[in-house]
Amino acid sequence: MNKPPYLMTARGIVKSYGPTSVLKGFDLSVAAGEVHAFLGGNGAGKSTFIKIISGQIDRDSGSLEFAPNSASSSAADASDENTIAVVNQELALLPHLTVAENIALPRSRRGYGLFNASEARRIAVDALSLIDPTFAQASVDRLVADLSLHERQLVEIARALDSGASLLLLDEPTANLTAGETERLFTVIRRLTVDKGLAVLFVSHRMREIRQIADVCTIIRNGQTTIDRVALTSITDAEIVEQMGQAALGPAAEPRAQRRPRTSGDGIDAGKPNDLRVQTDGIDLEIASGTILGLAGPPDGPEALMDALIGVSRAGKWSIARNGTAVSYRRPSTAARDGVGFVSGDRANKGILANLPIVDNLAASARIVGRKRAVRREEVAQGSDLLDALSIRAGSLWDLPATLSGGTQQKLLIARWLRLKPTVLVLEEPTRGVDIRTKQEIYALIREMAAQGAIIVWWSTEYLELVELCDTVLAFDPDGHPTSVLRGDSISEAGLAHATGMAA
């Protein structure tokens, strides 16, 4: 694998945020034509490094070298520089422009005034068609503000893939994609690396994906390189996890069979019934206290049901009953006071309160449920407990959430509900961007809440996670229609792929 010169070589990179020392002499080099997995736990410094090499933030010291671009021979693009395209972990589209404008504008050398709209449309459709031709036609004229998180992710990836850059930096690009979209993305990446010598630096916490797509890996731990350009064929999962500092998690998850039967527990208002019934055309599902219900499939179907459960939109085609009584929440605060908790998958737009300190972010749900304004002293103590409970490393409770890494912000959203013991907890991709160890911690927390009688409704695009965790799974097809209910040991990855219309 060692055949310098590399396309990009970073040596001895140092970066601190105030007193927080993140990169302490970090090295990484990327060769043309390779997919390079960049691995490390939450808060290790991956996004920080990506922002440094793409020029979004400055490094304190260290050297960064790019090889001269041998591919640019024509006079038109006779730059000596290799170009870089980046898809950041927290997406960065301009919400008030259309999809076409967002994709084409960065390429326009003429400024917005001379911008050619039909040309932009063509560029955007071509770019989006790399991943999904149907989505390309349907979305090109829409405003980015009206797109879901998942759709925005597709737009950003398409923009980067089609940019002609020689180095592509993808910071957890698959965290918001369905299995089918991830597959298509990988196909495009393979083609561009082989045909055009594109180099890809790829961040993901999903081990299986890393093995599917990457050739080599570099691992960061404590601000330094612990594994430097090692071929993925010569390192095991266990070694990777250990090198990331995530080993020794105690006993593996209990097999499903040993977890059941779960009876209505003592944690949540002992003795009170807690059941949920959801009905629509062809589906009538009664969900008992203590059940972990998975929702599988592309976003439309699961989102409509979750929105109805948490009072974001009227129930629409769903009828919902709790403890035998029909309910229709008009707003999320009503649902929250009725014991329905919700963790949004779109943390940047719907979860994190970016302008308020961590302590307020932690107390947000409790304030809504208890109709409270700030009760500072109590909240500070509880806030510290919650940080401990999920091993959230924060400078101080008074720092802003932006000072936390992506995965750590995700933990914050879950921590909000821990003390409140919701009777129904609706989770939208709660482990998005979360590292392997933290995932296990979150699974344990969810199982514990279920064991105490809570009903958990969990949407995930990662089938493995649903298989591992759920008692029952409701599967949806790509048009958003529920197709089937899988239970117990009949929940398998192949079964889910089939039920969601994603089978290969």
Ligand X SMILES: Nc1ncnc2c1ncn2[C@@H]1O[C@H](COP(=O)(O)OP(=O)(O)OP(=O)(O)O)[C@@H](O)[C@H]1O
What residue ranges bind Mg ion (CB under 5 A)?
Answer: 46-47, 89, 406
Residue 476 and residue 482 in contact, taking contact as beta carbons nearer than 8 Å: yes
Structure tokens at 356: 């308020």
Sign of the Cα pseudo-torsion (131, 137, 138, 142, in order): positive
Residue 491 and residue 484 in contact, taking contact as beta carbons nearer than 8 Å: no
Query: Rg of the chain over CA atoms, in angstroms?
Result: 23
Please report, as residue ranges, which positions from 79 to 108 form the binding site for ligand X (by CB under 6 A): 89
- Tell me which stretch binds ligand X (CB under 6 A): 255-263, 292-300, 406-414, 460-468: 406-414
x-marked contacts with ligand X along 429-458 as a string, rule CB under 6 A: ----x-x-----------------------
Residue 52 or 496 with smaller CB distance to Mg ion: 52
Q: Which residue is associated with the tokens 């809440």?
A: 449
| Residue 404 near which of ligand X, Mg ion, none (CB within 5-8 Å, type-dependent) | ligand X
Alpha-carbon 223 to chain mean position? 23
| Residue 176 near which of Mg ion, ligand X, none (CB within 5-8 Å, type-dependent) | none
Residue 370 CB, nearest distance to ligand X (Å)? 29
Residue 45 CB, nearest distance to Mg ion (Å)? 8
Tell me: does residue 166 bind ligand X (CB under 6 A).
Answer: no
- 141, 146, 149, 153: CA torsion to nearest 10: 20
Residue 159 and residue 191 in contact, taking contact as beta carbons nearer than 8 Å: no
Give which of 468, 429, 433 is closest to 447, Cα–Cα. Answer: 468
Tell me: does residue 406 bind ligand X (CB under 6 A).
Answer: yes
Residue 66 and residue 82 in contact, taking contact as beta carbons nearer than 8 Å: yes
The runs of H, that is alpha helices, within 331-458 are 332-337, 358-370, 376-389, 406-418, 436-451
| Residue 20 near which of Mg ion, ligand X, none (CB within 5-8 Å, type-dependent) | ligand X
Size of the site for ligand X (CB under 6 A): 21
| Residue 461 near which of Mg ion, ligand X, none (CB within 5-8 Å, type-dependent) | none
- Tell me which stretch binds ligand X (CB under 6 A): 16-24, 256-264, 357-365, 481-489: 16-24
Residue 325 or 355 with smaller CB distance to ligand X: 355
Tell me: does residue 246 bind ligand X (CB under 6 A).
Answer: no
Tell me: does residue 223 bind ligand X (CB under 6 A).
Answer: no
Residue 222 or 323 with smaller CB distance to ligand X: 222
The runs of H, that is alpha helices, within 7-116 are 46-53, 99-104
DSSP 246-299: ----SSPPPPHHHHPPP---STTTTT----EEEEETTEEEEE-TT-EEEEESST
Residue 24 or 184 with smaller CB distance to ligand X: 24
Q: What residue ranges bind ligand X (CB under 6 A)?
A: 17, 20, 22, 40, 42-48, 89, 402-408, 433, 435
